[in-house]
């Protein structure tokens, strides 16, 4: 058998979508208090989600204790997998023992002012990473049947139950309800022709032109290009439970009622 082939495992280059925890202060206590406040009310939103610590917003002379930040994230059930740093920061960032990652967000981190950020992150070294999913489901619920898929659009014609997750490289069309605890993710636009009660993340590779359309907005979380809003921030009455479209204006999520008649 060729030494390059094995029936037991494979090592491949790849990319993994993960949250970016963008550090904007060196005051760890203030960071701890804010993180606790933000996630205490909704502890399940980011439970067991992987996260990369992004220090690119810090000034050239600023440093933070990355090992302590990693412990802080772990205390709120987030799973730090590495650090995103500018070249000048990599020497001290590497001292924490976390892998250095490259982020594929299309806008410079110092120019983003949203509530949160999510981008594709991959190892800076040529180490192997998990393969990026085409359109996949995960969790204890039964697998989701994909009605059709192309290089541009994926269509799902069944409701999504808690624990199910769909990822689309282009646009994503969902014809059934996205239940609480379910998640739909797309590199392009998301269209949901039913209630959205779970999480919807569009433009996940930094596509700021992506939009979310749904016929009944009741979400746990909505996000475009990493700028997100959770149920912790109640929706206005004119869009809550209504047909809407969602897009980005600079770094602000805009939610507008859809006129369907």
Q: Render pLDDT for 171-216 as a digit per residue (tens, 0 to 9).
A: 999 999 999 989 999 989 999 999 999 999 999 888 899 999 999 9
* pLDDT tens for each residue of 50-79: 889 999 999 989 999 999 999 999 888 888
| Least confident among 10-19, 25-34, 55-64, 104-113 | 104-113
Taking domain 16-123, whether its CATH number is 3.30.70.260 is answered by: yes
pLDDT of residue 130: 28
DSSP line for the chain:
--TT--SS-------EEEEEEE---S-HHHHHHHHHHHHHS-TTSSTT-EEEEE-TTS-TT----HHHHHHHHHHTT-EEEEEE--GGGHHHHGGG-PPEEEE--SS-GGG--SS-EEEEEEESSS---PPPPSS---SSSPPPPEEEE-SSEEEE-S-B-TT-EEEESSEEEE-S-B-TT-EEEESS-EEEEEEE-SEEEE-TTT-TT--EEEEEE--SEEEETTEEEETTSPPPTTTTTS-EEEEEETTEEEEEE----
Q: Compare 136 and 208 and report the one with higher pLDDT.
A: 208
Residue with tokens 């624990």: 163
Q: Which CATH number fits domain 146-256: 3.40.50.450, 2.160.20.70, 2.130.10.10, 3.40.50.2300?
A: 2.160.20.70
pLDDT of residue 123: 47
Strands 16-22 and 117-123, sheet pairing: antiparallel
User: Is there a contact between 194 and 177 (Cβ–Cβ < 8 Å)?
Assistant: yes
| Cα–Cα distances in angstroms (integers) from residue 81 to residues 50, 60, 71, in the given order | 6, 23, 12
pLDDT of residue 106: 43
| Cα–Cα distances in angstroms (integers) from residue 74 to residues 32, 36, 37, 198, 239, in the given order | 12, 12, 15, 23, 35
| Cα–Cα distances in angstroms (integers) from residue 212 to residues 159, 182, 208, in the given order | 17, 16, 12
What global pTM score does this model have? 0.55
Strands 227-230 and 221-224, sheet pairing: antiparallel
**All structural domains of the chain with their residue ranges:** 16-123, 146-256
């Amino acid at each position: 058998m060729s030494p390059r082939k094995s029936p037991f495992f494979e090592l491949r280059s790849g990319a993994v979508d993960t949250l970016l925890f963008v550090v904007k202060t060196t005051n760890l206590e203030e960071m701890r208090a804010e993180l606790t406040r933000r996630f205490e009310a909704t502890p399940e939103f980011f439970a067991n989600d992987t996260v990369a610590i992004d220090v690119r917003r810090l000034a050239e002379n600023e440093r933070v204790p990355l090992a302590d930040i990693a412990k802080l994230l772990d205390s709120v059930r987030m799973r730090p997998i590495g650090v995103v740093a500018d070249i000048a920061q990599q020497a001290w960032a590497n001292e924490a023992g976390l892998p250095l990652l490259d982020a594929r967000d299309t806008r410079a981190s110092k120019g983003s002012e949203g509530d949160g950020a999510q981008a594709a992150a991959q190892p800076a070294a040529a180490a192997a990473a998990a393969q990026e999913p085409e359109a996949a489901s995960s969790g204890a619920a039964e697998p989701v049947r994909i009605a059709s898929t192309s290089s541009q659009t994926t269509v799902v014609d069944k409701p999504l139950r808690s624990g199910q997750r769909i990822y689309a490289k282009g646009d994503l069309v969902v014809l059934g309800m996205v239940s609480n605890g379910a998640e739909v993710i797309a590199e392009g636009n998301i269209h949901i022709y039913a209630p959205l009660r779970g999480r919807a993340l569009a433009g996940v590779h930094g596509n700021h032109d992506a939009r979310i359309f749904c016929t009944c907005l009741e979400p746990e979380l909505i996000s475009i290009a990493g700028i997100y809003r959770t149920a912790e921030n109640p929706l206005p009455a004119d869009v809550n439970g209504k047909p809407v479209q969602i897009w980005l204006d600079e770094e602000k999520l805009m939610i507008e009622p859809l006129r369907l008649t």
